[in-house]
Structure 1
Amino acid sequence: MSYSDDELREYFERPENRRRSGKDPSQGDDIRPRTPVGRYWFNRLKDREKAAAASIVSWTALVVLAGTLGLGGYFLTLLDEIPPTREIENPEFQLATVAYTADGQELQRYAYQNRSWATYEDISPHVINALWATEDHRFYDHWGIDMQGLLIAVPVSILKGDPRGASTITQQLARNLYNTRIGRRVTVERKLKEMVTAVQLERRYTKEEIMEMYLNTVDFGYPAFGIESAARMYFGKQPRDLTLLESATLVGMLQGTSLYHPVNNPENARKRRNVVLSQMERRGVIEPGTAAALADEPVETSFRSEAITRSLAPYFAEYVRRELEAWGERSGYDIYEDGLIVYTTLDSRLQKMAATAVDSVATCLQAVADYEWSEKGDDEMVWSLNMCDYLRFEDSSWSELYKENPSLIRNIQVDTERYQAMRRLGMDRSEIFQLLDANEAYMDSLKAAKHRLEAGFVAMDPQTGYVKAWVGGREITRDWYDHVAIARRQPGSTFKPFVYTAAIDNGWSPYYQLPDDSVKYVDPITEVEWNPTNFTEISGRMMTLREALAHSVNTVTAQLMLEVGPSQVAFYAKRMGIDTPLAEVPALALGTSDVTLLDMTQAYSTFANGGLRYEPTVISRIEDRQGNILFEANTPPREALSEVTAYTMTDMLRAVIREGSGIRIVAGEYQLGQYDLAGKTGTTQDAADTWFMMIHPDLVMGSWVGFNDPRFRFRTNYWGQGARTALHVVGTFFRDAAAEDSLFVTKASRFPAPSVYGAPESYFSPASLDSLAAPPDSVDTSNGSERRRRVGW
């Protein structure tokens, strides 16, 4: 084909002609597509409409492919944050370590998240049905992602700008199991992680297993993690026993554990519970009309806090926790995550008796102290010989103590952290005192803490060292200071048996005599003079060691100490179980070095066990969650004393109970003379500490009663004695234990006697029991208004 000169000139001079590429000058308009894809399909199909359709399909496929590749690339960036297959197949759960008493009662749980596992079969069907009906009614139909729900939720989320909703139970489980990887922030990224993980979970687990894992990992409000903890904490039962209403209440909490808390917000919890019931009715898992019929039912709980302060033995539980932590560090276990099972030595029945004894006796003695330091009190006179008679008085100001000691209030203010903080700020002393005095609420609180009488009690099995009861104080919420294992106080006369033990073991006879006469000793190095006196007057007569110990005669004990030597006495005390530092000076004989109640009880158990020393044991066995034994207590005893020495001392301590300062146990209000008992009372200077130790072949007991601050004490000498304070704690406990028909202690039990000794059956004959004299102050106190003169003991 050829073009004329005019046609060529027109083509090059007019641009619009050049734009019509592909046009044949001899033909009409050019119909070929302009895009490469369009021209490609036009050249292949030779049809403009078909080429246009093919182009649209191609562009759509290209966009889809690009989106798929982009999304795939995005998912690749999330791979490091999505749980790997190994974690999906073997998820790790934080499980609480549960400690039990020796008789099978739950003592305490130790956990970051208080969770114990409940199998699917152990969960009430009401819980299962309430959960899927409310949270994910297509749970049994989807494969981890509810596409129908997602299609509804996505537009709503876009409109609201909040990517929530449509999370299946499986997605929620993914978040519970792998919250550090998936996160909890409300973002599209988190949703995608959830979805991918949920699909993997569905591939590897059955619906029942997913439901079980979900209910064991979900938070029901601190500190209840999982259905087992929630059922026990809110309703005091196992998950299998939850009723329809209880199940609906717990499932309702999942929308907001604080807002729908059944204890703190019962009305909100009731409304939410009714929503759950309506959903269950809607899905056909309960009969029509059930939700309406139950709508007005109140939310009833049996709330039991898992806090250690609510344990039946909180001080003991705290001591066990410290022991477990130390064992875990040595053995490579985390007691807060590994779900261990711990069996302790405590007996819940004896523990309740001990707690009751401490509470009842300390309450009455608190009233005594409050009365004595009120305006009605007196230094020499007692109002009643019955401690509980004082409960009628309400004055707890201790005004007379502050009158006798004007500087005391300033001294206790100086000891406070608030005073020390003000001093560090450069404030003047007088300015600080003025501010503290003006703060009445603070001063009342400070005084109340100082006036509060405290007590400690512990009981051990002497034949094993197993601790059976432990009361570290009157109320742990007021005072965490454990008066069994932590508090160190002077033991007073309860330390004397170590002096006599050192003597007996080195050849002294129980019938060796010393004069009850004044003692004067001057330390050759310090030139400090020591001249101890008796609580009662010095008699001047000769006394056997047995008699002197029975009646707690200080002068005889002091002379014996000088003969035996302080270092020898300290040696025997440590050998028997006293682990605290002891000052090896003559005054040690009268209990001037601080000890713990637990150490004293261990040492006295050596007497009861024929000279064998067992370490106090609080944990008998530890198992992992599969029941494999990880630890079992099997500490052999050590021979601390010869059998002859131990029994000789035990027999001398029998005299304390049968004729000495502990006679109230057998001849007073307790009437326990048919039991083989021995013991010792103790009181320190100014009655700051009062003690009583008592041993029986089946049980060894120790009690301390006093004030945390030694500057506070009983006012009269009558009440400031171990024989009238701590003895009552032990006596009340043992009387209650003895009432259980030989379950804990028996009348037939006898201390192990060497062959050279005869059995002490004469002690327990009817004639011997009838001859026991009542304490001199066991008189009728029915006339409570009558004031009586002080009776020394």
Structure 2
Amino acid sequence: MSSSTPDRAASRLAGLARRTGRGLRRHPWLLLGVLLLAAAGIATAMALSYVTSLIPLTPGIGDLRKVQAEQPGVILTADGQPLAVLRRANRQWVPLAEISPHVLDALLATEDQRFYAHHGVDLRRTAAAALHTARGRLQGGSTITQQLARNLFPEEIGRAPTVERKIKEAITALRIEQVYGKDEILEIYLNTVPFLYNAWGIEMAARTYFDKAARELDVLESATLVGMLKGTSYYNPVTNPRRALQRRNIVLAQLDRQGKLQGADLAALQQSPLRLDFERQDEPPGPAPHLSVQLRRWLIEWAERHGRDAYADGLVVRTTIDARAQALAVEAVDRQAARLQKLADAQWNGRTGWRSRADLVAQFIRESAQFQAARAHGLSEQEAIERLRADADFMQALREDKTRLQAGFVAIEPGTGYVRAWVGSRDFALDQFDHVQQARRQPGSTFKPFVYGAAFEQGARPDDRLLDQAVEIQVGTSEVWRPSDMGQPSGEAMTLSDALAFSRNTVTAQLTRLIGPDRVALVARSLGVRDSRLDPVLSLGLGTSPVTLREMVTAYASIANNGQYVPPLVVLRVEDRDGKLLEAFEPAAPEQALLPAANGILLDAMRGVVDRGTGAAIRSRHGLKGDLAGKTGTTQENTDGWFILAHPRLVAGAWVGYNDSRLTMQDAWGQGARSALPMVGDFFQQALKARLLDAKARFPKAPEPSAMEPANSWWGALLTPPRSDPLVVDPGSGAPLDVQALPAPDAAFLPVQRAVVVAPPRSPAAPDPDTRGMGAPPALPIERAIVVAPPRGEAAVVPAMPAVVAPPGW
């Protein structure tokens, strides 16, 4: 190639440039066209780049398919009945074939007439909407598919009127049309669109506004609901009936233009009123709503831990609840509580009731939200109280709320811990507080079996005796505790078995003093009272530490299970939507909480409660037969009523009282034997009649008391070979006394066959032989002793150093 070649090429390019320049100068429109083409190319490239950048931010095909496959979680009873459903929204999915054709016609005529002609985005409609908007008349151009995209993915797409939102909406709509057919899109749309009042989808909307199924909607009702889609709040037929009526008539006009009224008179239809039949469609609470609340929360946490969606993955939770037992429990609580409420209303409506408690009522007023609001508006305390007292509606509502009796009921299967029934309150709609799991109330005498169980474990026998007499126990340096019963003490020596059967506080207080409240608390915790704080004070044995009903029934189930504790179990298994097991839950291994022989003695003593003691109405009034054991409980001034009954196959308990413990029940009906016992008795009566329980079942046979090992028990020393010589012990020093030296006029010497003689406390440095670490003082084995008793009629003063007064036949 010659050296002149590049020069010739450069010369040609320069000539072309000069000719092009002269042409553009002679024809300037060509220059404008070139510039516009270049700008359009750049803009298109930028737009494509922008749209491409938004594609990863929109839902993928997998997300779209998941929406159609979404299936709520379900919680079932042991026999397959639904307890609760976990939905993101209150929705009942219906196929397109079960939706009124009037709804479909109204939807297409109003929202998307070319629905079956486009592929997710209607370019003609979009252009028309843009033109109207440019002229100052804002108009939407979204198709039904675009609206569905916005409804299904509000977070990914958003609702702001921006270009970015419209692009994301269009991309998602195109993807939806790739995945679903047109009828599927209509079905998904109509089942997911919101209609206010927690009503999602056309089925719940039809039930909420017209109390009918979606397939039953007529043309007027269909037009009303479709009209709401333009703005559910603005066209709400409940709060804005005029606007809703106008919007409905616009939809009717659209139907007429499309020829969908089928000869009906448009003018006549538009003159028709709305005719609503409105009722909120709240999620049904189910047969065990208080428990369901806990199970929902549990399933959500379980699903999060296992990478599942509790609302969409179709998880199935199978529980231990027995649907039949649950229904009987609800009926028993409803029936008996209604009877008690009539008595309570009579109590509080009388002159000695609500009106006589002016100070307490004033306190209730001060605690109300209305009082706080009145004070916030500048009223003085007295002015606020007087104004609210004058408000009849407020005072009636306050009295109804405060004097509404509440109850809790739970039934647990001993051996497995399976919870078979759970009633948290009388009515979940009025009281969501769970009186089985959340409420902590004083258990009263239902706590006493733990005292006697501790004594039997330490070697006491059911026929051991303590005096049923007035008792004074020094507490600290200046306080004296005087436990008492409803009636006067008999002054007779009472066996421990009778003391439990007839629920004698005086005897139980003495026994608690001898056993020690620490040991009583330990036995209670071992048996199942494990979540509540138990104060180790002398009054603990009489049930002064608040506990839950679930804990108490669990502990009684341990007693029914030969003294073996098994924690309550509610969830049996979790499955996926196809029935594949994801996780199973088995009963925990039993823990021996009370020695079997001691437990057998305790169980037999608790049989005496229902056979001849405070729970005898179980036999006489409710006619229950078979092997049963239980205990009543009533707290100070009838604040709480309790009863727990143990059957070999099921243990059930009930609590009754007011939510506000400052209110108390009357003696005539508020004691546990008259308030809580009828609920439990009613339940067992119906359960046995329905053959849910075997009337011939027996508790496990306990070993004989001689099989107990008393080596580390201070009471168990009585089981060792006896002494042959009489023994008198000074209750203050624990030293033996010379019988001949005692002045006869000042003391009564009573021969006994068995007695407990407690020596002085061990020194802190001395080794503790007690394997349970309670440090109980040792005992002296005797066959016959002379016990110094107080004169008849005087209170028995139990000094700081325990002394036992236990002459049989006293």
Q: What TM-score does the superposition give when structure 1 sets the normalisation length?
A: 0.73
In structure 2, the partner of 1:689 is: 640
In structure 1, the partner of 2:334 is: 359
Cα 1:315–1:243 change in 2 (3 A) is same
Cα pair 1:176 1:217 within 8 Å, conserved: yes
- SS of residue paired to 1:702: strand
- SS of residue paired to 1:509: coil
Q: Quick one: which amino acid aligns to residue 559 of structure 1?
A: Q
Cα 1:212–1:465 change in 2 (3 A) is farther
- SS of residue paired to 1:439: helix
Q: Quick one: which amino acid aligns to residue 699 of structure 1?
A: L
Cα 1:753–1:454 change in 2 (3 A) is same
Cα pair 1:516 1:556 within 8 Å, conserved: yes
- Taking only the aligned residue pairs, the percentage that are identical comes to 43
Cα 1:478–1:542 change in 2 (3 A) is same
Q: Quick one: which amino acid aligns to residue 517 of structure 1?
A: Q
* Structure 1 position 598, deviation (Å): 1.2
* 1:346 and 2:295 are equivalent in the alignment: no
Q: Quick one: which amino acid aligns to residue 318 of structure 1?
A: V
Cα pair 2:557 2:651 within 8 Å, conserved: yes
In structure 1, the partner of 2:497 is: 546
In structure 2, the partner of 1:193 is: 168
Q: Quick one: which amino acid aligns to residue 635 of structure 1?
A: P
* Structure 1 position 501, deviation (Å): 1.8
Cα pair 2:501 2:609 within 8 Å, conserved: yes
Cα 1:584–1:363 change in 2 (3 A) is same
- SS of residue paired to 2:135: helix
- SS of residue paired to 2:336: helix
Find the partner of 2:699 among 734, 748, 751: 751
In structure 1, the partner of 2:425 is: 473
- SS of residue paired to 1:719: helix
Q: Distance in 1 between matches of 2:268 and 2:21?
A: 69
Cα 1:341–1:359 change in 2 (3 A) is same
Which residues of structure 1 form unaligned runs of 5+?
1-33, 43-50, 378-396, 758-793
Q: Distance in 1 between matches of 2:324 and 2:269?
A: 40
In structure 2, the partner of 1:390 is: none
Cα pair 2:599 2:702 within 8 Å, conserved: no
* Structure 1 position 162, deviation (Å): 1.0
Find the partner of 2:687 among 721, 726, 737: 737
* 1:432 and 2:381 are equivalent in the alignment: yes
* Structure 1 position 95, deviation (Å): 6.8
Cα pair 1:343 1:622 within 8 Å, conserved: yes
In structure 2, the partner of 1:760 is: none
Query: What aligned pairs does 1:443-454 form with structure 2 within 5 A after superposition?
Result: 445-454=397-406
* Structure 1 position 80, deviation (Å): 4.3
Cα pair 2:365 2:388 within 8 Å, conserved: no
Cα 1:156–1:109 change in 2 (3 A) is same
Q: Distance in 2 between matches of 1:488 and 1:222?
A: 35
Cα pair 2:94 2:203 within 8 Å, conserved: yes
* Structure 1 position 592, deviation (Å): 0.8
Find the partner of 2:671 among 721, 735, 738: 721
Cα 1:324–1:105 change in 2 (3 A) is same
In structure 2, the partner of 1:182 is: 157
Cα 1:434–1:219 change in 2 (3 A) is closer
Q: Distance in 1 between matches of 2:55 and 2:135?
A: 28
In structure 1, the partner of 2:39 is: 66
Q: Quick one: which amino acid aligns to residue 672 of structure 2?
A: G
In structure 2, the partner of 1:398 is: 354
Cα pair 1:174 1:197 within 8 Å, conserved: yes
In structure 2, the partner of 1:39 is: 23
* Structure 1 position 439, deviation (Å): 2.5
In structure 2, the partner of 1:161 is: 137
* 1:563 and 2:514 are equivalent in the alignment: yes
Q: Distance in 1 between matches of 2:676 and 2:505?
A: 20
- SS of residue paired to 1:718: helix
Cα 1:302–1:628 change in 2 (3 A) is farther
Q: Distance in 2 between matches of 1:498 and 1:207?
A: 69
- SS of residue paired to 2:445: helix
Cα pair 1:373 1:401 within 8 Å, conserved: no
Q: Distance in 2 between matches of 1:726 and 1:71?
A: 79
Query: What aligned pairs does 1:40-55 form with structure 2 within 5 A after superposition?
Result: none
Larger mean CA deviation between 311-320 and 250-259 belongs to 250-259
Cα 1:198–1:60 change in 2 (3 A) is farther
Cα pair 2:96 2:183 within 8 Å, conserved: yes
* Structure 1 position 486, deviation (Å): 1.1
Cα 1:129–1:633 change in 2 (3 A) is farther
Q: Distance in 2 between matches of 1:262 and 1:102?
A: 43
Larger mean CA deviation between 215-224 and 649-658 belongs to 215-224
* Structure 1 position 712, deviation (Å): 1.4
Q: Distance in 2 between matches of 1:158 and 1:484?
A: 64
* Structure 1 position 597, deviation (Å): 1.0
In structure 1, the partner of 2:572 is: 620
What count of residue pairs does the alignment treat as equivalent? Answer: 678
Deviations, residues 509-535 of structure 1 (Å, cap 9, x unaligned): 333333322333224x55532232222
Query: What aligned pairs does 1:588-627 form with structure 2 within 5 A after superposition?
Result: 588-624=540-576
* 1:521 and 2:473 are equivalent in the alignment: yes
Q: Quick one: which amino acid aligns to residue 636 of structure 2?
A: Q
Cα 1:257–1:678 change in 2 (3 A) is farther
In structure 1, the partner of 2:610 is: 657
Cα 1:98–1:275 change in 2 (3 A) is farther
* Structure 1 position 671, deviation (Å): 2.4
- SS of residue paired to 1:592: coil
Cα pair 2:121 2:173 within 8 Å, conserved: yes
Q: Quick one: which amino acid aligns to residue 173 of structure 1?
A: L
Cα 1:158–1:373 change in 2 (3 A) is closer
Deviations, residues 636-683 of structure 1 (Å, cap 9, x unaligned): 242334555444433332222222212222211x2223x543221110
Larger mean CA deviation between 436-445 and 532-541 belongs to 436-445
Cα 1:603–1:80 change in 2 (3 A) is farther
Deviations, residues 252-311 of structure 1 (Å, cap 9, x unaligned): 553444466687789988997898788789878997669999997987879563357x44
Q: Distance in 1 between matches of 2:308 and 2:396?
A: 46
In structure 1, the partner of 2:119 is: 143
* Structure 1 position 345, deviation (Å): 3.6
- SS of residue paired to 1:615: coil
